[in-house]
Amino acid sequence: MGMRAIQGLLFLSLFLVVQSIWAQNFKVSSDGELSFYQKSGQRALVKEYAGKIVVDGSSGEVLYQGRVVGDLDFFSGRLILCQEQFANECELSFGKKVEEGKSVQSVELSLKEHGHQKGIGTSFNALDRYVYASPNQEEGGTCLYMASTGAMEILLNKHRASTTRSYDGVSDLSERFLMSLEVPGGYLGDWRTDTILSFNYRGKALLNRDYRYTKGWYKGDETTGNVTRASAKERGAKYGTYYNWVNDYDFRRNREIDSKLISVPKIARDLIFVDPAHDQWNVGVMDSSVIEKIKSSLRRKNAPVLIIYNHYAYWHAVLIVGYDDEQAVNGCAFVNSWKQYMAKEARASVARGKRFQRYIAQVNNSIAKNGGCSSKGVFYVRDSIYDGVEEPIYDYDPAKVGEETRYSKRIILRSYDWAKYLGNHAYVIYSQEQSR
């Protein structure tokens, strides 16, 4: 579809002065005409902005004088213009105009000064206030569930007053619930991209205070996740966060737990990039265009992006919740550290040597193909494995003393090159209500 002019901006009747009502009555036609429903129910157009507002047909970004001022959902035809995540970009003024002897409503779109912002579209951090730090997963191997649950928490917090947002509060969700949730065969496609959609099966979730991410005694095969509950004195028993793979409840029959379920929004997820080989360890498969799509998705949906990447030989999932184009970085520092580690591991293990050397070669080829390392640009990342310093203490096991640690560091910085060269899957997670 490409960039194209939207033909016209529309007459407004008085009942559309309230912007929330105005947004609900906005429509866009297949040929790019913008229109409002008048109070009479008729559709009306104005020509004062013809050719001045354009829509990027690939991303849905709405631009005015080179600024991103809105987002068009091609599926539903809904437009967000100078509202929600774009409220700091522009504003709409409503008034009467007389044309050809008739009094009509008109709209004026004016750009706002960015003030403290570094430039047009160079940063996005609107989600920060909604982000809870994750319990440190330690050896649990639960990153996909920490990230997916964190995404749902963000969507819940967007619709809750700030006074209701607190750890172990009414929107602090249980990662174990998602881990234990059984869905029918065929309900999900690729687990890498569809695990988050498990929330839609029940439309419910448990709070962390009711089904805690915990530590406990377990035994079994950690490589397969086939572990069972154990006592402290059992031979081979271990104590730690891997216990979370033990399902303590039968959600189909436990009425006590059922009564504690809370409603959560229906989730939609748009794929940004999927590794053609469906390999969660793969590297060197993204490029600069994917980075721009991630940034665009954050802005357009005002919602987090889940990314899977190769983290020092094991795959890891985290949430990207913002970005800053102007933040200085030390080249490919993380990627270079990763390459050194992988080379060392390749020399130490014949079994993994060839695969690790192939990964290193793929990254080197991608760096050469994509113009090397950047000096600027970071993502704000919500992770689940880094020790927090300022975060509160998390109590894994209230019945035990001494196992407590701080929540993971709530936000860390990762360069764009980290995602570009080590990432393999990325998708934006948002409420289905946003598409209506």
Q: How do residues 78-121 score in pLDDT, each as one tens digit?
A: 777 777 777 777 776 554 444 444 544 555 566 776 533 333 46
**Token pair belonging to 172:** 């602090």
Contacts of 361 (CB under 8 A, 6+ apart): none
Calculated CA dihedral for residues 78, 84, 88, 94, nearest 10 degrees? 60
**Structural domains present in the chain:** 3-113 (no CATH), 128-435 (3.90.70.10)
pLDDT of 163 reads: 81
pLDDT of 114 reads: 52
pLDDT of 118 reads: 38
Cβ(379)–Cβ(293) below 8 Å: no
pLDDT of 160 reads: 82
pLDDT of 391 reads: 92
Ranges of residues in the chain whose predicted pLDDT is under 70: 1-53, 57-59, 73-77, 92-110, 113-121, 250-255, 434-436
Taking the C-alpha atoms of residue 156 and residue 158, their distance in angstroms, rounded to an integer, is 5
- pTM for the full model? 0.76
pLDDT of 324 reads: 95
pLDDT of 5 reads: 33
pLDDT of 217 reads: 94
Other beta carbons less than 10 A from residue 259's beta carbon: 8
What contacts 24+ positions apart, CB below 8 Å, involve 366-369? 366/283, 366/284, 366/285, 366/286, 366/287, 366/420, 366/421, 367/332, 367/335, 367/421, 369/287
pLDDT of 331 reads: 87
pLDDT of 225 reads: 77
Cα angle: 44, vertex 49, 54; to 5 degrees: 105
pLDDT of 83 reads: 77
What b/e readout covers 374-402, taking b as 16+ CB neighbours within 10 angstroms? beebbbbbbbbbeebeebeebbbeeeeee
Q: How many residues does the chain have?
A: 436
**Token pair belonging to 56:** 């990027």
